[in-house]
Amino acid sequence: MLFRQSFLAVFLCYGVGAIGSSLAPGQIKNLVTFGDSYTDVTAMADGGTVWPVYAAGYANVSLFPFAKAGATCSNNITFRPFPSLYESQLPTYFAEKANGTLQSLVPNETLYTLWIGTNDVGVSALLTGSDAPRVSLVDTVACAVSWVKTMYTSGARNFLFQNMIPLQTTILYSADSYPNEYWTLERNTTEWSVVMAEFARSGNKLQELMLEALVPSLKDAHVGFFDSYSFFEDMLAHPALYLNGTAPLNITGCVHSCVYQLNESPTDTGVCTIANGTDRDSFLWYDELHPSEQTDRNIAKEVAEVIEGKFNRWTRWLS
């Protein structure tokens, strides 16, 4: 399969990655983001301002966003009719780089981030079998890791790779889920939750191992592994440290909850309950799949620490 052979070649020469130094304070002037709706600054899937905008503001750097909602790593692996990383986002980036739009991106002063995988393993992809024949989690993860090599070859040197969150804790993939705008058909919610937990945990470990195997070949590169999974687990375990709204703190519901009848068309509106004003900041989730704006502020604070060259407890530097 696509990317499988390159992964196997790298994995065979796997070695433990060294924990290198972080970025120097004041070094980074630009933040370039790739990914899906968790990072797309125009889709605003958190119902407000998305984390890259906050992170760039907190760290006082320029933002160059390329992430697009609905994206997978490659539509040749898990096809979805959305702008994937390899068929849309990267071509757009390279086109803008070629025409001079991105001439201000000095390699040593630019941090490139990728946060993808949620759509690759979810509905209409690996979870429901809507993918190319014989595609596995290895293929989707290897594709994402190959982004580092692709960007490195083009001149990039500083990377932050963000792994998958505990997707089984989102409402869509929880054992207590209900029909919602992302899935209204009959399903075994317990099975989905167990499978998503395995996808996220296994995929994240594969990512880490593949990156550790890759970094020795990337001379002068700095690759950070941001553990989104553990960060979200901490927010779930200690919501009072992260949520500050005026409603009771809530890690199981969402700001914008829409309950559908079983098999009802997702184009209908369902029965929706919406939190408004400062009550919104009491929720970890915005809807059945996406983090809330308050959660995005927390993500942004952590990424801003990385940008500023500070120690960040969720980031391990592989090189």
**Domains and their CATH numbers in the chain:** 4-238+296-308 (3.40.50.1110)
The whole-angstrom separation of Cα 306 and Cα 55 is 10
The reported pLDDT for the residue numbered 84 is 98
Burial class (CB in 10 A: 0-12, 13-18, 19+), 93: buried
In whole angstroms, what is the distance from residue 145 CA to residue 151 CA?
11
> To 5 degrees, how large is the angle CA 7–CA 221–CA 74?
40
Q: Are 299 and 51 in contact (CB under 8 A)?
A: yes
Segment 287-305 mean pLDDT? 98
- Res 9: pLDDT: 41
Q: What is the pLDDT of residues 111-132, one digit of tens each?
A: 999 999 999 999 999 999 877 7
Predicted pLDDT of residue 221: 97
Put the strands of the sheet holding 222-226 in their side by side order.
62-65, 30-35, 110-115, 158-162, 222-226, 315-317
pLDDT at 27: 97
Angle, alpha carbons 126-40-64 (nearest 5°): 125
What is the rounded average pLDDT for all residues in the chain?
A: 93
Model confidence at 18: pLDDT above 50: no
Tallying the residues shown for the chain, one arrives at: 319
Predicted structure pTM score? 0.93
Residue type, 50: V
Specify the DSSP element, H or E, that contains 272.
strand 271-274
Paired tokens of 256: 């914008």
User: Each residue of 39-58: pLDDT tens digit?
Assistant: 999 999 999 999 999 999 99
List, for residues 251-278, the tens digit of each pLDDT value: 999 999 999 999 988 777 889 999 999 9
